[in-house]
């Protein structure tokens, strides 16, 4: 039987995981825990470091959610928005898994906003990956829209089958609902945050999915 950690023990585990993550300066990040929900606060030097800190907290068993309140104080603050926009546009053009001329980029106050239309989630994710490590970037807003291309029943059946097929979990406790616009909702219970995240990733992999609402509850 798995022992459930209290908030004090969970906080210590999250702090240890942040210390263990080489891409994160854990000394700059404060951790608070309430009923399994972790709040991260402080300042970091780059947007990727911010994301790595959040992922590190989510890796800890017993964490049910993460509220991320970290501020990016970029060490490349002298890099202007125009320079970032040029670099982002070039990065999108060089990415072989981003459809040409379908993704637009805007930059304001060091925040990149991606927009446009693609057919698959992996293309949307590829556009995000291509710009997130650029110098001077403090945040990335991915507003790219996925255009649905298949029927509701096909989406639901494909996701349900893929979840059961996954080695991460049995999938018996997960219900998949899809509407005509490609919006998918996952409900039910899973045993870990990794299982919850894998279920969402599986749902996004189906053709025609435009959004995924993950309502899966983590029961340790």
Q: How confident is the model at residue 26 (pLDDT cuts 50, 70, 90)?
A: very high
In sequence order, what E strands does 73-137 have?
103-108, 111-118
User: How confident is the model at residue 219, as a pLDDT?
Assistant: 76
Q: What is the distance between the alpha carbons of residues 215 and 213, in angstroms, rounded to a whole number? A: 6
pLDDT in tens, 173-201: 789 998 877 889 999 988 888 888 889 98
Query: Which residue bears the tokens 């080489």?
Result: 22
Give me the DSSP letters along 44-79.
ESSHHHHHHHHHHHHTSTT--EEEEEEEE--TTTTS
User: Exposure pattern of 164-191 as b/e (b: 16+ CB <10 Å)?
Assistant: eeeebbebeebebebeeebbbbbebebb
Q: Determine what percent of the chain is predicted with pLDDT higher than 70.
A: 93
pLDDT in tens, 141-176: 999 998 866 677 778 888 888 887 765 555 567 899
User: How confident is the model at residue 55, as a pLDDT?
Assistant: 92
Contact present, 189 and 170 (Cβ < 8 Å): no
User: How confident is the model at residue 168, as a pLDDT?
Assistant: 56
Confidence (pTM): 0.67
pLDDT in tens, 102-113: 999 999 999 999
Q: How confident is the model at residue 57 (pLDDT cuts 50, 70, 90)?
A: very high
Mean pLDDT computed over every residue of the chain: 88
Contact present, 114 and 128 (Cβ < 8 Å): yes
Q: Angle between the 47-58 and 7-20 helix axes, to the nearest 10 degrees? A: 140
Which run of H or E residues covers position 121? Answer: helix 121-131
């Amino acid at each position: 039987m798995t022992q459930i950690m209290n908030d004090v023990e969970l906080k210590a585990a999250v702090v240890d995981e942040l210390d263990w993550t080489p891409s994160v300066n854990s000394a700059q990040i404060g951790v608070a825990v309430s009923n399994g929900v972790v709040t991260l606060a402080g300042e970091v030097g780059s947007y990727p470091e911010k994301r790595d800190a959040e992922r590190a907290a989510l890796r800890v068993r017993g964490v049910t959610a993460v509220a991320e309140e970290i501020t990016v104080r970029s060490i490349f603050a002298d890099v202007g928005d125009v320079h970032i926009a040029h670099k982002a546009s070039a990065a999108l053009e060089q990415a072989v898994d981003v459809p040409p001329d379908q993704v637009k980029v805007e930059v304001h106050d060091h925040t990149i906003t991606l927009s446009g239309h693609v057919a698959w989630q992996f293309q949307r994710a590829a556009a995000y990956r291509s710009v997130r490590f650029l110098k001077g970037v403090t945040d990335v807003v991915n507003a790219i829209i996925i255009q649905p291309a298949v029927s509701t029943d096909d989406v639901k059946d494909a996701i349900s089958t893929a979840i059961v097929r996954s080695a991460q979990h049995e999938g018996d406790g997960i219900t998949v609902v899809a509407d005509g616009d490609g919006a998918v909702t996952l409900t039910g219970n899973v045993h870990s945050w990794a299982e919850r995240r894998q279920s969402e990733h599986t749902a996004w992999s189906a053709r025609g999915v435009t959004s995924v609402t993950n309502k899966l509850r983590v029961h340790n």
